[in-house]
């Protein structure tokens, strides 16, 4: 689940000058450091000091910048041993998680978002839920900005437009599209996520005219099929390593008649550094890998499928980083 995770929640070498005007000054400073390929002596200590005051960040997308967990562990008991073990081989814990799912990493993602991950991200994606920490609230706000960008690109008049929302999560994108008249096929690797999205749609559509009931189903991306005007996949690529990213883009492209809208956690020296810090000190509830991708790699995959990128944007908060692209079939 997208998750969007987000899940919500892209990956590439990119120019960050296109960050939206709503981005905070501190986030812009981080963007400039990332764009230059430097850490920035001033921005990193500030991020560390801020993170040390936050509750541990342990959810999937929070892996991208798990500063709170990382630097909190530094001062905890037994921290040196954990640091040495993680620095020596951070893949050990990841392999254990995959082993628990029979060696299937994709299945481990599905298991996470059908259990503890569902409860965590259901709260994060619920604007009215107050039982979230500062990191999770920051991710909620960042994800909402990415959704807003995608909705702006879709436009208001969507009567009869068919959309595949691959990795729909709790319906952040699907629901507003359906309320605008789009025919949406929404899927998520997690059945609880897809069911929650359905419940949220019913609540949002009550008493409204012109809505189109989406088709919600529990499926992973590899099993999706059909043909749609637009295929959207937001904050899902974070679950796919580079070796599988091109195949994922190719499969999504095969279903898109006219357009694709995808987002991913960008791979830059700065973001890669933050991700590495989080990997060294994982929270006890951390359950899946988080992959960053270089923008040129994602764009190359799109071009190979006959698409051309026509729009780019970037969302960055303190703990959420997502690059979003719109590509049209040539």
What is residue 178's predicted lDDT score, i.e. its pLDDT? 98
CA distances from residue 325 to 18, 134, 153, 212 in whole angstroms, order as listed: 12, 28, 10, 26
CA distances from residue 159 to 154, 155, 179, 308 in whole angstroms, order as listed: 11, 11, 10, 25
Residue 44 region by backbone torsions, left for phi larger than 0, else alpha for psi between -120 and 50, else beta? alpha
Query: Given pLDDT bands bounded at 50, 70 and 90, which one contains residue 55?
Result: very low
pLDDT of 53 above 60: no
pLDDT of 25 above 60: no
**Greatest distance between any 2 Cα atoms in the chain:** 60
Q: Please tell me the pTM assigned to this model.
A: 0.68
Give the Cα separation of 319 and 330 in Å (integer): 35
- Give the pLDDT confidence of 243-256 residue by residue, as tens digits: 999 999 999 999 99
Query: Given pLDDT bands bounded at 50, 70 and 90, which one contains residue 279?
Result: low
- Give the pLDDT confidence of 111-146 residue by residue, as tens digits: 665 656 666 766 777 777 787 889 888 988 999 999
pLDDT of 322 above 50: yes
75 three-state secondary structure: coil
Question: Residue 235 corresponds to which tokens in the numbers above?
Answer: 């904050």
Give the Cα separation of 76 and 68 in Å (integer): 12
pLDDT of 76 above 60: no
């Amino acid at each position: 689940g997208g998750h969007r995770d987000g899940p919500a929640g892209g990956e590439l070498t990119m120019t960050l000058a296109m960050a939206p005007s709503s981005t905070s000054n501190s986030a812009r400073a981080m963007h400039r450091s990332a764009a230059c390929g430097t850490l920035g002596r001033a921005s990193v200590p500030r991020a560390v000091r801020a993170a040390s005051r936050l509750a541990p960040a342990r959810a999937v997308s929070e892996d991208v910048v798990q500063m709170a967990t990382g630097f909190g562990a530094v001062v905890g008991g037994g921290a040196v041993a954990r640091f040495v073990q993680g620095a020596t081989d951070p893949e050990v814990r990841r392999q254990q998680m995959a082993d628990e799912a029979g060696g299937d990493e994709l299945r481990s993602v599905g298991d996470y978002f059908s259990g503890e991950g569902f409860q965590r991200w259901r709260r994060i994606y619920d604007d009215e839920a107050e039982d979230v920490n500062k990191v999770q609230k920051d991710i909620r706000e960042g994800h909402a900005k990415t959704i807003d960008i995608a909705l702006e690109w879709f436009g208001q008049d969507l009567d009869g437009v068919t959309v595949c929302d691959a990795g729909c999560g709790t319906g952040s994108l699907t629901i507003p599209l359906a309320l605008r008249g789009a025919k949406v096929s929404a899927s998520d690797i997690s059945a609880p996520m897809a069911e929650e999205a359905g419940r949220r749609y019913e609540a949002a559509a009550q008493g409204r005219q012109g809505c189109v009931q989406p088709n919600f189903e529990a499926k992973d991306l590899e099993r999706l099929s059909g043909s749609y005007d637009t295929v959207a996949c937001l904050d899902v690529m974070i679950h796919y390593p580079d070796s599988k990213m091109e195949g994922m883009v190719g499969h999504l492209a095969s279903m898109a008649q006219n357009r694709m809208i995808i987002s991913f956690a960008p791979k830059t020296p700065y973001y890669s550094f933050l991700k590495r810090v989080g990997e060294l000190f994982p929270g006890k509830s951390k359950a899946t890998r988080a992959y960053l991708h270089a923008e040129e790699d994602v764009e190359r995959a799109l071009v190979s499928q006959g698409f051309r990128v026509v729009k780019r944007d970037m969302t960055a908060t303190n703990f959420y980083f997502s690059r979003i692209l719109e590509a049209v079939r040539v």
